[in-house]
Chain A
Amino acid sequence: MLRLYATVAAGGFRRYATYRVATLAGLFTNTVFGFVFSYTYIALWAERPQLGGYSMADALAYVWIGQALITVCGMMGGGFEAELIERIRTGDIAVDLYRPADLQGWWCAANAGRAAYQLLGRGAVPLVIGAFAFRFTLPAGPAGWAAFLLAVALGSLVSFALWYLVAMSAFWLLDGQGVVQVAWLAGLFFSGMLLPLNVFPGALGEFARALPWAALLQVPADVYLGRYGDGPGLLRAYGFQLGWLAVLLAAGRAAQAAATRKVVVQGG
């Protein structure tokens, strides 16, 4: 079974690896946005040093981490949900449901492959470019990088669980676009993609940092910046991500079970 999922993941990786021009185009876009955001953050932090507890170097690192993880942790769309929704809409999903592999597991593996490719193909380069253009904070040694990568992996999984749940709604709603739009909006805003969540004022900040979207970018970025320290603090960060991962995966599974019953009853 594990071998199967590994094959599926490898397939996901290869599938995206064939679009080289698209990867380059994406890199270019990420870099452009990285520069635009960097300058606005510089202006902001020049006015208010230590805003949100970040130094300017931290804030700049945050910008480029955001650009690097945009497709990996699905802040602006999970990258697979459109295809899944299309399969549900056309009824092709019935074929998937009768496969020996679990639907959620199958898509999760494929998405993991995609995310791995995006991390290598689209994540690393903007980070390097940004580091050359602006002197931003780097993690403390190899252990810091490892801790960051683990947080990214968990963030990517939470993103999958979130978007899977969103896609499941297409079983009930004829036009899934509304839900996708709302999820997209919430992701964009509450992931901290536009502005770090610890810059959000008061209760709004508290609220945003407790939502699952915080696990996509804010937590990995804070792990990168070493703000959780090491040991217990770091475990709390992972715990936060794992907690949401478990809840969202379970919700997705429940939705999937209900949907399967529905498909079986209605015959597709």
Chain B
Amino acid sequence: MDELLTAAPAEGTAGGARTEEAYRPAADALRTYRMVAALWIRSTMTYRASFALTLASSFCVTFFDFVVILLMFGQVRGLGGFSFAEVAFLYGTTGTAFGIADLTLGSLQRMGRRIRDGSLDVFLLRPAPLLAQVAADAFALRRLGRVLQGLMVLVWSLVLLRDEVAWSWGRALMVPWTVVCGAVIFMAVMVLGASALFWLQDAAEVTNSFTYGGNTLLQYPPTVFAQDLVKGVVFVVPLAFVNWLPALYVLGRPAPPGVPSWAAFASPLVALVCCGAAGLAWRAGVRSYRSTGS
């Protein structure tokens, strides 16, 4: 029972509200997350100038990322057969999704240190779900900068694409839906990475290569990459469902070779499966921590 409490991620996505009994932990996790995050936001807001500066710099960090793409398109007309507007669309969808995940769960990066120095014990002493506590701790509103920048590029790309794409209701609704599912997939990857830290405390950087690395990968068209790599992020680490597959549908392009066309609509399912896996991994991690104490 207790492990169920700790296994419910902050967003209450994993497991979902299956029964009355399982619902409460999710609500409790949400409540804890909101409470802790709100406190951190208030404390950040006491230094408004400093907050504005860090928000702006977080915005700029991600913006430079985009400048690279602008510079590239200063030299070429297309990349892997994709126009600037299309690449910007890919950038905007993954950037926003990753930004949302980073905003909500970015603090999980501190887990390795918490386990090493034993400060995780303190969280275990409190009557609140562990994951929600750890994720909300040191909540950094400045990470909103990444979300804003992603959204800006996304909107810009949509303006450029208004005539290029044969818009339909399905395609239009797919855009926000993609961002939401993408964010959930990234969150699940972050929780998975954090769970691995219960066994390998120094391996935090591996998670980065799937989160930050994945985000960078997804900014570029799948046609740029080797087919094996694309298959890898479809079937092994399902990052392709964050934006590639749904975006190809929106842009009216065929799915990558070997990938069925209905896969474009499978993102929610993939997100759900990822959350389930993340929940199980987290549970196993906490159980291992509580039996070894290391």
Contacts and interface: CB of A to CB of B under 8 A. Distances in A.
Interface in B201-221: 201-206, 208-209, 213, 216-217, 220
Most chain-B CB neighbours within 10 Å: which of A19, A22, A40?
A: A40
Given A25-B202, A181-B54, A33 B68 contact: no
Interface string B173-208: 000000000000000000000000000111111101
Contact of B203 (A22, A177, A185, A195): A22
B109 to A, nearest CB: 13
Contacts of A195: 68, 71-72
Contacts of A40: 72, 79, 220, 224
Interface stretch (B56-64, B149-157, B160-168): B56-64
Interface in A7-53: 19-22, 24-26, 28-29, 32-33, 35-37, 39-40, 42-44, 47-48, 51
29 contacts: A21-B202, A22-B203, A24-B203, A25-B200, A25-B206, A29-B206, A29-B213, A32-B209, A36-B220, A39-B224, A39-B225, A39-B229, A43-B79, A43-B220, A47-B75, A47-B79, A51-B75, A175-B47, A175-B50, A181-B58, A182-B57, A185-B64, A188-B61, A188-B64, A189-B64, A194-B67, A195-B71, A199-B75, A201-B71
> Which 8 A-B residue pairs are closest in the complex by CB-CB distance?
A21-B202, A22-B202, A47-B76, A32-B209, A25-B205, A181-B57, A29-B209, A43-B224
B65 interface: yes
A184 interface: yes
Contacts of A231: none
Given A32-B209, A36-B216, A47-B78, 7 more contacts: A44-B76, A175-B47, A181-B53, A181-B61, A185-B64, A189-B67, A194-B64
Contact of A25 (B47, B50, B204): B204
Nearest to A36: B217
Contacts of B80: 43
Interface string B89-130: 000000000000000000000000000000000000000000
Given A19-B202, A32-B213, A36-B217, A201 B74 contact: yes
Interface string A102-130: 00000000000000000000000000000
B77 interface: yes
A200 interface: yes
Contacts of A188: 61, 64
A178 interface: yes
Contacts of A177: 50, 54
Nearest to B67: A189
Contact of A22 (B60, B65, B205, B223): B205
Contact of B205 (A26, A35, A39): A26
B226 interface: yes
Contact of B220 (A20, A39, A181, A201): A39
B164 to A, nearest CB: 19
B79 A48 contact: no
Given A32-B209, A178-B57, A194-B68, A21 B220 contact: no
Contacts of A182: 57
Contacts of B74: 201
A26 B78 CA distance: 33
Interface residues of B, number: 39
Contacts of A28: 205-206, 209
Contacts of A25: 200, 202-206
Contact of A48 (B57, B61, B75): B75
Interface string B33-63: 0000000000000010010011001101100
Nearest to A31: B209
Given A39-B220, A175-B50, A185-B61, A199 B203 contact: no
Nearest to B203: A25
B151 to A, nearest CB: 20
Given A44-B72, A47-B77, A199-B75, A178 B224 contact: no
B61 A184 contact: yes
A181 B217 CA distance: 24
Contact of A21 (B68, B75, B200): B200
Interface in A178-213: 178, 181-182, 184-185, 188-189, 194-195, 199-201
B88 to A, nearest CB: 15
Nearest to A24: B203
Contacts of A51: 75
Contact of B50 (A33, A178, A200): A178
Contacts of B77: 47
A219 B223 CA distance: 32
Contacts of A42: 224
A195 B73 CA distance: 12
Contacts of B204: 22, 25
Given A22-B205, A36-B213, A44 B57 contact: no
